[in-house]
Structure 1
Amino acid sequence: MAAEAEPAGMRTVQRAIDILGLLDESRPALSIREIVAASGLPKTTVLRLLGTLRLNGLLWVDEHGRHIAGPALLRWARLAEQAWRLPPAAAVILRELAAEHRETVHLYVRRDIRRVCIAQEEGPQSLRQVVRVGDELPLWAGGVSRALLLDAPEALLRRVAESSPYGAAHLDTLRAWIEEARTLGYATSHGEREEGLSAVAVPVRGRAGAVTAALSFGGPSTRFTDERIRRFADGLTAAARELVRVGLPFEG
Protein backbone atom coordinates (compact mmCIF):
# COMPACT_ATOMS: atom_id res chain seq x y z
CA MET A 1 0.00 0.00 0.00
CA ALA A 2 2.80 2.42 0.87
CA ALA A 3 4.49 1.80 -2.48
CA GLU A 4 1.24 2.61 -4.28
CA ALA A 5 0.59 5.74 -2.22
CA GLU A 6 4.01 7.29 -2.86
CA PRO A 7 3.47 8.20 -6.53
CA ALA A 8 0.11 9.81 -5.69
CA GLY A 9 1.77 11.80 -2.93
CA MET A 10 4.54 12.92 -5.24
CA ARG A 11 1.96 13.91 -7.84
CA THR A 12 0.11 16.02 -5.26
CA VAL A 13 3.31 17.81 -4.26
CA GLN A 14 4.14 18.51 -7.91
CA ARG A 15 0.67 19.89 -8.55
CA ALA A 16 0.98 22.21 -5.55
CA ILE A 17 4.36 23.42 -6.81
CA ASP A 18 2.89 23.96 -10.28
CA ILE A 19 0.13 26.13 -8.79
CA LEU A 20 2.69 28.25 -6.94
CA GLY A 21 4.61 28.52 -10.19
CA LEU A 22 1.64 30.20 -11.88
CA LEU A 23 2.35 33.34 -9.87
CA ASP A 24 4.91 35.70 -11.37
CA GLU A 25 5.55 39.42 -11.83
CA SER A 26 2.99 39.66 -14.61
CA ARG A 27 0.38 37.67 -12.61
CA PRO A 28 0.99 38.30 -8.90
CA ALA A 29 -2.65 37.53 -8.02
CA LEU A 30 -4.92 34.86 -9.49
CA SER A 31 -8.57 33.98 -9.03
CA ILE A 32 -9.67 30.38 -8.56
CA ARG A 33 -11.10 30.42 -12.08
CA GLU A 34 -7.74 31.55 -13.50
CA ILE A 35 -5.86 28.88 -11.55
CA VAL A 36 -8.21 26.15 -12.77
CA ALA A 37 -7.84 27.32 -16.38
CA ALA A 38 -4.04 27.67 -16.21
CA SER A 39 -3.40 24.43 -14.35
CA GLY A 40 -5.79 22.24 -16.31
CA LEU A 41 -6.80 20.51 -13.05
CA PRO A 42 -10.35 19.80 -11.91
CA LYS A 43 -11.80 22.54 -9.75
CA THR A 44 -12.21 20.18 -6.79
CA THR A 45 -8.51 19.29 -6.95
CA VAL A 46 -7.53 22.96 -7.19
CA LEU A 47 -9.69 23.88 -4.19
CA ARG A 48 -8.13 21.11 -2.11
CA LEU A 49 -4.59 22.15 -3.04
CA LEU A 50 -5.30 25.84 -2.45
CA GLY A 51 -6.63 25.03 1.01
CA THR A 52 -3.45 23.17 1.92
CA LEU A 53 -1.22 25.94 0.53
CA ARG A 54 -3.17 28.60 2.46
CA LEU A 55 -3.05 26.55 5.65
CA ASN A 56 0.74 26.46 5.41
CA GLY A 57 1.07 30.14 4.60
CA LEU A 58 2.35 29.57 1.07
CA LEU A 59 -0.68 31.33 -0.41
CA TRP A 60 -2.87 34.16 0.88
CA VAL A 61 -6.21 35.56 -0.24
CA ASP A 62 -6.33 39.31 -0.90
CA GLU A 63 -9.28 41.65 -0.48
CA HIS A 64 -10.55 40.76 -3.96
CA GLY A 65 -10.59 37.03 -3.26
CA ARG A 66 -7.53 36.38 -5.42
CA HIS A 67 -4.62 34.20 -4.36
CA ILE A 68 -1.24 35.84 -3.81
CA ALA A 69 2.11 34.64 -2.47
CA GLY A 70 1.83 33.86 1.22
CA PRO A 71 3.89 35.17 4.15
CA ALA A 72 5.66 31.84 4.74
CA LEU A 73 7.51 32.42 1.47
CA LEU A 74 9.18 35.48 2.99
CA ARG A 75 11.24 33.25 5.26
CA TRP A 76 12.15 30.91 2.43
CA ALA A 77 13.07 33.85 0.20
CA ARG A 78 15.34 35.21 2.93
CA LEU A 79 17.02 31.82 3.34
CA ALA A 80 17.52 31.49 -0.43
CA GLU A 81 18.97 34.98 -0.65
CA GLN A 82 21.42 34.19 2.14
CA ALA A 83 22.42 30.87 0.58
CA TRP A 84 23.00 32.26 -2.92
CA ARG A 85 24.31 35.72 -2.17
CA LEU A 86 27.75 36.26 -3.69
CA PRO A 87 30.57 37.12 -1.31
CA PRO A 88 31.59 40.80 -1.49
CA ALA A 89 34.76 40.03 -3.45
CA ALA A 90 32.77 38.15 -6.11
CA ALA A 91 30.26 40.99 -6.40
CA VAL A 92 33.15 43.40 -6.98
CA ILE A 93 34.46 41.19 -9.80
CA LEU A 94 31.10 41.36 -11.60
CA ARG A 95 30.80 45.10 -11.03
CA GLU A 96 34.27 45.81 -12.42
CA LEU A 97 33.68 43.51 -15.37
CA ALA A 98 30.47 45.32 -16.34
CA ALA A 99 32.13 48.72 -15.98
CA GLU A 100 35.19 47.77 -18.04
CA HIS A 101 33.31 46.20 -20.96
CA ARG A 102 30.15 48.33 -20.68
CA GLU A 103 27.82 45.33 -20.97
CA THR A 104 25.52 43.58 -18.50
CA VAL A 105 27.07 40.58 -16.75
CA HIS A 106 25.07 37.54 -15.65
CA LEU A 107 25.98 34.50 -13.60
CA TYR A 108 23.91 31.35 -14.20
CA VAL A 109 23.65 27.86 -12.77
CA ARG A 110 21.89 24.86 -14.30
CA ARG A 111 18.69 23.51 -12.80
CA ASP A 112 17.79 20.32 -14.64
CA ILE A 113 16.94 21.39 -18.22
CA ARG A 114 16.81 25.11 -17.42
CA ARG A 115 19.25 27.78 -16.35
CA VAL A 116 18.74 30.20 -13.49
CA CYS A 117 20.25 33.66 -13.17
CA ILE A 118 21.70 33.92 -9.66
CA ALA A 119 23.56 37.25 -10.00
CA GLN A 120 23.82 40.13 -12.39
CA GLU A 121 25.50 43.50 -12.77
CA GLU A 122 23.94 45.89 -15.25
CA GLY A 123 26.12 47.64 -17.80
CA PRO A 124 26.07 51.44 -18.10
CA GLN A 125 24.42 51.58 -21.54
CA SER A 126 20.70 52.35 -21.71
CA LEU A 127 20.00 49.67 -24.34
CA ARG A 128 20.75 46.38 -22.64
CA GLN A 129 19.52 42.84 -22.07
CA VAL A 130 17.06 42.48 -19.19
CA VAL A 131 17.35 39.24 -17.21
CA ARG A 132 16.58 39.45 -13.51
CA VAL A 133 18.03 37.45 -10.68
CA GLY A 134 15.85 34.37 -10.26
CA ASP A 135 14.72 34.25 -13.89
CA GLU A 136 14.72 30.80 -15.47
CA LEU A 137 15.48 30.28 -19.15
CA PRO A 138 15.60 27.15 -21.33
CA LEU A 139 18.86 25.34 -22.02
CA TRP A 140 18.20 24.46 -25.65
CA ALA A 141 19.58 27.78 -26.96
CA GLY A 142 22.02 30.53 -26.09
CA GLY A 143 25.72 30.85 -25.38
CA VAL A 144 25.14 30.39 -21.66
CA SER A 145 23.54 27.01 -22.31
CA ARG A 146 26.56 25.81 -24.28
CA ALA A 147 28.87 26.77 -21.41
CA LEU A 148 26.68 25.07 -18.82
CA LEU A 149 26.36 21.90 -20.89
CA LEU A 150 30.05 21.37 -21.62
CA ASP A 151 30.25 18.39 -19.24
CA ALA A 152 26.64 17.25 -19.62
CA PRO A 153 25.93 13.52 -20.08
CA GLU A 154 24.20 12.34 -23.22
CA ALA A 155 20.95 11.62 -21.39
CA LEU A 156 20.67 15.24 -20.25
CA LEU A 157 21.47 16.59 -23.71
CA ARG A 158 18.72 14.41 -25.12
CA ARG A 159 16.19 15.76 -22.61
CA VAL A 160 17.24 19.34 -23.36
CA ALA A 161 16.82 18.72 -27.09
CA GLU A 162 13.38 17.18 -26.57
CA SER A 163 12.31 20.28 -24.61
CA SER A 164 13.16 22.53 -27.57
CA PRO A 165 10.75 23.59 -30.33
CA TYR A 166 12.70 21.30 -32.68
CA GLY A 167 12.34 18.11 -30.66
CA ALA A 168 14.88 15.31 -30.52
CA ALA A 169 16.34 16.37 -33.88
CA HIS A 170 17.93 19.31 -32.04
CA LEU A 171 20.37 16.95 -30.32
CA ASP A 172 22.89 17.04 -33.18
CA THR A 173 22.82 20.84 -33.17
CA LEU A 174 23.43 20.90 -29.43
CA ARG A 175 26.39 18.57 -29.79
CA ALA A 176 27.91 20.75 -32.53
CA TRP A 177 27.42 23.93 -30.49
CA ILE A 178 29.00 22.40 -27.40
CA GLU A 179 31.96 21.04 -29.35
CA GLU A 180 32.58 24.47 -30.84
CA ALA A 181 32.48 26.04 -27.37
CA ARG A 182 34.87 23.39 -26.07
CA THR A 183 37.33 24.15 -28.90
CA LEU A 184 37.15 27.93 -28.49
CA GLY A 185 37.01 27.99 -24.70
CA TYR A 186 33.93 30.22 -24.84
CA ALA A 187 30.47 30.20 -26.42
CA THR A 188 28.57 32.75 -28.47
CA SER A 189 25.01 33.04 -29.69
CA HIS A 190 23.13 35.50 -31.89
CA GLY A 191 19.36 35.77 -31.89
CA GLU A 192 18.71 32.16 -30.90
CA ARG A 193 16.37 32.85 -28.01
CA GLU A 194 15.31 36.37 -28.92
CA GLU A 195 15.99 38.19 -32.19
CA GLY A 196 18.51 41.02 -31.91
CA LEU A 197 20.18 39.71 -28.74
CA SER A 198 23.63 38.17 -28.52
CA ALA A 199 25.66 36.59 -25.74
CA VAL A 200 29.18 35.49 -24.94
CA ALA A 201 29.64 33.00 -22.11
CA VAL A 202 32.38 31.01 -20.42
CA PRO A 203 32.16 28.14 -17.96
CA VAL A 204 33.00 28.68 -14.31
CA ARG A 205 34.80 25.52 -13.26
CA GLY A 206 35.04 24.62 -9.60
CA ARG A 207 38.18 23.48 -7.86
CA ALA A 208 37.46 19.90 -8.95
CA GLY A 209 37.30 21.01 -12.59
CA ALA A 210 33.58 20.49 -13.16
CA VAL A 211 31.37 23.22 -14.62
CA THR A 212 29.43 24.77 -11.76
CA ALA A 213 28.18 27.97 -13.40
CA ALA A 214 28.43 30.14 -16.50
CA LEU A 215 29.44 33.80 -16.67
CA SER A 216 28.17 35.85 -19.59
CA PHE A 217 27.74 39.17 -21.32
CA GLY A 218 24.42 39.77 -23.06
CA GLY A 219 23.17 42.65 -25.13
CA PRO A 220 22.13 43.95 -28.56
CA SER A 221 23.73 42.02 -31.41
CA THR A 222 24.96 45.24 -33.04
CA ARG A 223 27.47 45.64 -30.22
CA PHE A 224 28.72 42.05 -30.36
CA THR A 225 31.21 42.33 -33.21
CA ASP A 226 33.93 39.72 -33.73
CA GLU A 227 36.55 42.02 -32.21
CA ARG A 228 34.48 42.77 -29.13
CA ILE A 229 33.51 39.12 -28.71
CA ARG A 230 37.17 38.16 -28.38
CA ARG A 231 37.71 40.88 -25.78
CA PHE A 232 34.54 39.83 -23.96
CA ALA A 233 35.70 36.20 -23.88
CA ASP A 234 39.12 37.15 -22.48
CA GLY A 235 37.55 39.32 -19.78
CA LEU A 236 34.98 36.70 -18.82
CA THR A 237 37.59 33.93 -18.67
CA ALA A 238 39.82 35.93 -16.33
CA ALA A 239 36.84 36.88 -14.16
CA ALA A 240 35.65 33.24 -13.97
CA ARG A 241 39.04 32.21 -12.57
CA GLU A 242 38.84 35.02 -10.01
CA LEU A 243 35.35 33.96 -8.95
CA VAL A 244 36.61 30.48 -8.14
CA ARG A 245 39.58 31.95 -6.28
CA VAL A 246 37.43 34.14 -4.00
CA GLY A 247 34.83 31.38 -3.60
CA LEU A 248 31.20 30.94 -4.58
CA PRO A 249 28.43 29.89 -2.17
CA PHE A 250 27.39 26.89 -4.26
CA GLU A 251 30.85 25.59 -5.17
CA GLY A 252 32.24 22.86 -2.99
Structure 2
Amino acid sequence: MTQAPMRTVSRVADLIDQFDHLNPTRDLKELIEASGLPKSTVLRLATDLVNRGLLAINSKGYYSIGPAFLRWTRLAQEMWHVDEQTLNVLESLVRDLGETATLYVLQGRSRTAIASVDGTHAIRNVARLGEPLPLTRGASAIALLSGNLALIDSLKNAALLGEEESFDVDQLRTRAAQAAELGYSESQGEREADAASIAVPVRNQEGRVIAALSISGPISRFGSGVRDKALGRMIAASNVLSTNGIGPVGGLL
Protein backbone atom coordinates (compact mmCIF):
# COMPACT_ATOMS: atom_id res chain seq x y z
CA MET A 1 0.00 0.00 0.00
CA THR A 2 1.40 3.40 -0.99
CA GLN A 3 1.84 6.29 1.42
CA ALA A 4 -1.30 8.19 0.30
CA PRO A 5 -3.78 5.32 0.94
CA MET A 6 -2.04 4.60 4.24
CA ARG A 7 -2.51 8.23 5.26
CA THR A 8 -6.20 8.03 4.33
CA VAL A 9 -6.66 4.89 6.44
CA SER A 10 -4.98 6.62 9.39
CA ARG A 11 -7.21 9.66 9.01
CA VAL A 12 -10.36 7.52 8.86
CA ALA A 13 -9.24 5.73 12.03
CA ASP A 14 -8.46 9.07 13.71
CA LEU A 15 -11.92 10.35 12.83
CA ILE A 16 -13.78 7.29 14.12
CA ASP A 17 -11.61 7.32 17.24
CA GLN A 18 -13.15 10.65 18.29
CA PHE A 19 -16.32 8.84 19.38
CA ASP A 20 -16.50 7.11 22.76
CA HIS A 21 -18.83 6.71 25.71
CA LEU A 22 -18.06 10.29 26.78
CA ASN A 23 -18.59 11.70 23.28
CA PRO A 24 -21.14 9.49 21.51
CA THR A 25 -22.09 12.33 19.15
CA ARG A 26 -20.14 15.21 17.64
CA ASP A 27 -20.95 17.95 15.16
CA LEU A 28 -18.63 18.87 12.29
CA LYS A 29 -16.86 21.61 14.24
CA GLU A 30 -16.15 19.26 17.14
CA LEU A 31 -14.80 16.60 14.78
CA ILE A 32 -12.46 19.11 13.16
CA GLU A 33 -11.16 20.36 16.52
CA ALA A 34 -10.84 16.90 18.08
CA SER A 35 -9.16 15.24 15.10
CA GLY A 36 -6.92 18.15 14.13
CA LEU A 37 -7.70 17.49 10.47
CA PRO A 38 -8.60 20.17 7.88
CA LYS A 39 -12.30 20.95 7.49
CA SER A 40 -12.35 19.78 3.87
CA THR A 41 -10.77 16.45 4.84
CA VAL A 42 -13.18 15.85 7.73
CA LEU A 43 -16.20 16.71 5.60
CA ARG A 44 -15.07 14.44 2.76
CA LEU A 45 -14.26 11.50 5.03
CA ALA A 46 -17.39 11.93 7.15
CA THR A 47 -19.62 12.01 4.06
CA ASP A 48 -18.03 8.84 2.68
CA LEU A 49 -18.30 7.09 6.06
CA VAL A 50 -21.99 8.03 6.34
CA ASN A 51 -22.61 6.62 2.86
CA ARG A 52 -20.98 3.37 3.97
CA GLY A 53 -22.93 3.21 7.22
CA LEU A 54 -19.82 3.58 9.37
CA LEU A 55 -21.00 6.97 10.62
CA ALA A 56 -24.53 8.33 10.93
CA ILE A 57 -25.74 11.92 10.94
CA ASN A 58 -29.02 13.15 12.43
CA SER A 59 -31.29 16.01 11.42
CA LYS A 60 -29.39 18.42 13.69
CA GLY A 61 -26.05 17.69 12.04
CA TYR A 62 -24.57 15.52 14.79
CA TYR A 63 -22.49 12.52 13.77
CA SER A 64 -22.35 9.19 15.60
CA ILE A 65 -21.04 5.68 15.04
CA GLY A 66 -23.08 4.10 12.25
CA PRO A 67 -25.15 0.91 12.13
CA ALA A 68 -22.60 -0.93 9.97
CA PHE A 69 -20.57 -1.46 13.13
CA LEU A 70 -23.29 -3.73 14.52
CA ARG A 71 -22.16 -6.70 12.44
CA TRP A 72 -18.50 -6.10 13.31
CA THR A 73 -19.33 -5.65 16.99
CA ARG A 74 -21.03 -9.03 17.09
CA LEU A 75 -18.16 -10.65 15.21
CA ALA A 76 -15.57 -9.09 17.53
CA GLN A 77 -17.49 -10.24 20.60
CA GLU A 78 -17.64 -13.78 19.23
CA MET A 79 -13.94 -13.91 18.38
CA TRP A 80 -12.38 -11.89 21.20
CA HIS A 81 -14.31 -13.07 24.24
CA VAL A 82 -12.66 -15.06 27.00
CA ASP A 83 -14.26 -18.18 28.44
CA GLU A 84 -16.23 -18.41 31.68
CA GLN A 85 -13.30 -19.89 33.56
CA THR A 86 -11.14 -16.85 32.74
CA LEU A 87 -13.86 -14.48 33.95
CA ASN A 88 -14.12 -16.54 37.13
CA VAL A 89 -10.38 -16.09 37.68
CA LEU A 90 -10.71 -12.31 37.31
CA GLU A 91 -13.72 -12.22 39.64
CA SER A 92 -11.86 -14.29 42.22
CA LEU A 93 -8.94 -11.84 42.17
CA VAL A 94 -11.33 -8.93 42.72
CA ARG A 95 -13.00 -10.71 45.64
CA ASP A 96 -9.63 -11.44 47.26
CA LEU A 97 -7.84 -8.16 46.53
CA GLY A 98 -10.59 -5.60 45.96
CA GLU A 99 -8.83 -4.04 42.95
CA THR A 100 -9.79 -4.04 39.28
CA ALA A 101 -8.52 -7.14 37.46
CA THR A 102 -7.85 -6.94 33.72
CA LEU A 103 -6.52 -9.17 30.96
CA TYR A 104 -4.47 -7.42 28.26
CA VAL A 105 -3.24 -8.80 24.94
CA LEU A 106 -0.59 -7.63 22.52
CA GLN A 107 -1.81 -6.07 19.28
CA GLY A 108 0.84 -4.67 16.96
CA ARG A 109 2.68 -1.96 18.87
CA SER A 110 -0.02 -1.55 21.52
CA ARG A 111 -1.84 -3.47 24.23
CA THR A 112 -5.58 -3.89 24.52
CA ALA A 113 -7.85 -4.97 27.37
CA ILE A 114 -10.15 -7.82 26.33
CA ALA A 115 -11.66 -8.68 29.73
CA SER A 116 -11.95 -6.79 33.00
CA VAL A 117 -13.80 -6.92 36.31
CA ASP A 118 -14.12 -3.67 38.26
CA GLY A 119 -12.75 -3.44 41.79
CA THR A 120 -15.03 -3.30 44.81
CA HIS A 121 -13.87 0.07 46.16
CA ALA A 122 -15.77 3.30 45.50
CA ILE A 123 -12.56 4.78 44.06
CA ARG A 124 -11.18 2.31 41.53
CA ASN A 125 -9.60 2.00 38.12
CA VAL A 126 -11.82 1.15 35.16
CA ALA A 127 -10.34 -0.49 32.07
CA ARG A 128 -11.90 0.30 28.70
CA LEU A 129 -12.17 -2.84 26.61
CA GLY A 130 -10.75 -2.57 23.11
CA GLU A 131 -8.88 0.70 23.67
CA PRO A 132 -5.27 0.60 22.37
CA LEU A 133 -2.75 1.63 25.03
CA PRO A 134 1.02 2.20 24.74
CA LEU A 135 3.54 -0.58 25.24
CA THR A 136 6.10 1.77 26.74
CA ARG A 137 4.31 2.47 30.03
CA GLY A 138 2.46 0.45 32.65
CA ALA A 139 2.95 -2.89 34.37
CA SER A 140 0.90 -4.88 31.86
CA ALA A 141 2.94 -3.43 28.98
CA ILE A 142 6.17 -4.58 30.65
CA ALA A 143 4.70 -8.02 31.35
CA LEU A 144 3.79 -8.40 27.67
CA LEU A 145 7.22 -7.21 26.54
CA SER A 146 8.91 -9.65 28.92
CA GLY A 147 8.04 -12.38 26.45
CA ASN A 148 8.48 -10.24 23.34
CA LEU A 149 11.80 -8.43 23.85
CA ALA A 150 12.42 -8.09 20.09
CA LEU A 151 9.37 -5.84 19.86
CA ILE A 152 11.27 -3.11 21.71
CA ASP A 153 13.37 -2.52 18.58
CA SER A 154 10.19 -2.04 16.56
CA LEU A 155 8.94 0.48 19.13
CA LYS A 156 12.29 2.27 18.97
CA ASN A 157 12.14 2.55 15.17
CA ALA A 158 8.54 3.77 15.28
CA ALA A 159 9.49 6.43 17.84
CA LEU A 160 12.33 7.63 15.61
CA LEU A 161 9.83 8.01 12.76
CA GLY A 162 7.43 9.92 15.01
CA GLU A 163 4.86 7.11 14.89
CA GLU A 164 5.16 6.38 18.62
CA GLU A 165 5.94 8.49 21.67
CA SER A 166 9.62 8.81 22.58
CA PHE A 167 10.90 6.67 25.45
CA ASP A 168 14.07 5.47 27.15
CA VAL A 169 14.94 2.34 25.16
CA ASP A 170 17.56 1.03 27.58
CA GLN A 171 15.26 1.48 30.57
CA LEU A 172 12.38 -0.29 28.83
CA ARG A 173 14.63 -3.16 27.79
CA THR A 174 15.97 -3.49 31.34
CA ARG A 175 12.50 -3.49 32.89
CA ALA A 176 11.22 -6.08 30.43
CA ALA A 177 14.24 -8.32 31.08
CA GLN A 178 13.73 -7.98 34.85
CA ALA A 179 10.05 -8.88 34.47
CA ALA A 180 11.04 -11.95 32.46
CA GLU A 181 13.38 -13.01 35.27
CA LEU A 182 11.08 -12.18 38.21
CA GLY A 183 7.82 -13.27 36.61
CA TYR A 184 5.98 -10.00 37.28
CA SER A 185 6.13 -6.23 36.78
CA GLU A 186 4.76 -3.24 38.66
CA SER A 187 4.26 0.44 37.99
CA GLN A 188 3.19 3.59 39.80
CA GLY A 189 1.99 6.78 38.16
CA GLU A 190 3.23 5.87 34.69
CA ARG A 191 0.05 6.13 32.63
CA GLU A 192 -2.15 7.87 35.19
CA ALA A 193 -0.66 10.03 37.93
CA ASP A 194 -2.30 8.36 40.93
CA ALA A 195 -2.65 4.81 39.61
CA ALA A 196 -0.58 1.75 40.45
CA SER A 197 -0.57 -1.68 38.85
CA ILE A 198 0.92 -5.15 39.18
CA ALA A 199 0.97 -7.56 36.23
CA VAL A 200 2.02 -11.12 35.49
CA PRO A 201 2.41 -12.79 32.09
CA VAL A 202 0.02 -15.47 30.83
CA ARG A 203 1.48 -18.10 28.51
CA ASN A 204 0.09 -20.58 26.04
CA GLN A 205 0.93 -24.28 26.10
CA GLU A 206 4.10 -23.62 24.08
CA GLY A 207 5.31 -21.23 26.78
CA ARG A 208 4.86 -18.07 24.71
CA VAL A 209 3.53 -14.96 26.48
CA ILE A 210 0.10 -14.21 24.99
CA ALA A 211 -1.46 -11.96 27.64
CA ALA A 212 -0.86 -10.00 30.81
CA LEU A 213 -3.03 -10.31 33.90
CA SER A 214 -3.07 -7.15 36.01
CA ILE A 215 -4.65 -5.55 39.03
CA SER A 216 -4.80 -1.77 39.28
CA GLY A 217 -5.98 0.91 41.67
CA PRO A 218 -4.88 4.05 43.54
CA ILE A 219 -1.22 4.18 44.60
CA SER A 220 -2.27 4.68 48.23
CA ARG A 221 -3.58 1.10 48.36
CA PHE A 222 -0.50 -0.55 46.83
CA GLY A 223 1.90 -0.84 49.76
CA SER A 224 4.46 -3.65 50.09
CA GLY A 225 2.10 -5.84 52.12
CA VAL A 226 -0.61 -5.59 49.49
CA ARG A 227 1.91 -6.30 46.74
CA ASP A 228 3.17 -9.47 48.41
CA LYS A 229 -0.36 -10.79 48.92
CA ALA A 230 -1.38 -9.83 45.40
CA LEU A 231 1.64 -11.46 43.76
CA GLY A 232 0.92 -14.84 45.28
CA ARG A 233 -2.70 -14.75 44.13
CA MET A 234 -1.85 -13.39 40.69
CA ILE A 235 0.88 -15.91 39.96
CA ALA A 236 -1.50 -18.71 40.94
CA ALA A 237 -4.20 -17.21 38.71
CA SER A 238 -1.75 -16.85 35.82
CA ASN A 239 -0.75 -20.50 36.19
CA VAL A 240 -4.41 -21.53 35.92
CA LEU A 241 -4.91 -19.46 32.76
CA SER A 242 -1.61 -20.64 31.25
CA THR A 243 -2.56 -24.27 31.87
CA ASN A 244 -6.23 -24.17 30.87
CA GLY A 245 -6.18 -21.39 28.27
CA ILE A 246 -8.29 -18.23 28.10
CA GLY A 247 -10.97 -19.35 25.66
CA PRO A 248 -11.54 -18.91 21.90
CA VAL A 249 -9.53 -15.70 21.80
CA GLY A 250 -6.39 -17.69 22.61
CA GLY A 251 -6.37 -19.00 19.05
CA LEU A 252 -5.97 -15.45 17.72
CA LEU A 253 -2.85 -14.67 19.74
Verify same fold: TM over 0.5.
Answer: yes
Q: Residue 199 of structure 2: which of 178, 198, 201 is its match? A: 201
Could you tell me how far apart the structure 1 residues matched to 2:98 and 2:37 are? 47
Give distance in 2, aligned partners of 1:229 and 1:45.
49
Distance 2:223 2:157 in 1: 32
Contiguous gaps of at least 5 residues in structure 2: none
Q: 1:16 matched to which residue of 2? A: 12
Given candidates 98, 101, 108, the residue that maps to 1:102 is 98
2:108 to 106, 112, 116: 112
Moved more, 183-192 or 11-20: 11-20
* Alpha carbons of structure 1 residues 49 and 157: separation in structure 2 relative to 1, 3 Å: closer
Distance in 2 between the 1:24 and 1:103 partners?
24
Higher mean alpha-carbon deviation, 230-239 vs 242-251, is at 242-251
Measure how far apart 1:160 and its partner are. 7.1
CA-to-aligned-CA distance 1:205-224 (integer Å, 9 cap, x gap): 11122111100010122221
Secondary structure of the 1:241 match is helix
Preserved CA contact (<8 Å) 1:57 1:70: yes
Alpha-carbon separation, structure 1, partners of 2:77 and 2:133 = 19
Matches within 5 A, 1:59-98: 59-98=55-94
Deviations 1:126-153 (A, max 9, x none): 2211222223322221111110111231
Kept in 2: contact 1:113–1:159 (CA 8 A):
no
Q: How does 1:1-252 map to 2 (within 5 A)?
A: 6-150=2-146, 151-153=148-150, 154-159=152-157, 163-164=164-165, 167-168=166-167, 170-248=168-246, 249-252=248-251
Residue 241 to residue 160, structure 1, CA distance change in 2 (3 Å): farther
Q: Relative to structure 1, is the Cα distance of residues 130 and 160 closer, same or farther in structure 2, using a 3 angstrom cutoff? A: farther
Q: How far off is 1:157 after superposition?
A: 4.0
- CA distance 1:180–1:20, change in 2 (3 Å): same
Secondary structure of the residue aligned to 1:182 is helix
- Which stretches in structure 1 are left out of the alignment for 5+ residues? none
The amino acid across from 1:30 in the alignment is: R
Structure 1 SS opposite 2:217: strand
Q: How high is the sequence identity, in percent, across the aligned residues?
A: 38
SS in 2 for 1:76: helix
In 2, Cα distance between equivalents of 1:54 and 1:129: 35
CA distance in 2, matches of 1:107, 1:33: 37
Q: Deviations over 1:52-72 (max 9, x none)?
A: 211111000023211111011
Q: AA paired with 2:174?
A: A
- Name the CA distance, whole Å, in 2 between partners of 1:160 and 1:87: 34
Displacement of 1:190: 1.3
Alpha-carbon distance between aligned partners in 1 of 2:156 and 2:67, rounded to the nearest angstrom:
39
Alpha carbons 1:161, 1:174 under 8 Å: kept: no
CA RMSD of superposed structures (Å): 2.0
Structure 1 residues 20-73: Cα deviation after superposition (integer angstroms, max 9, x where no partner): 112122222122222233334333332222222111110000232111110111
Q: 1:159 to 1:144 in 2, by over 3 A?
A: farther
Q: 1:7 to 1:137 in 2, by over 3 A?
A: closer
| Per-residue deviation, 1:108 | 0.6
Q: Give the paired residue count.
A: 245
Runs of 4+, deviation exceeding 4 Å: 159-162
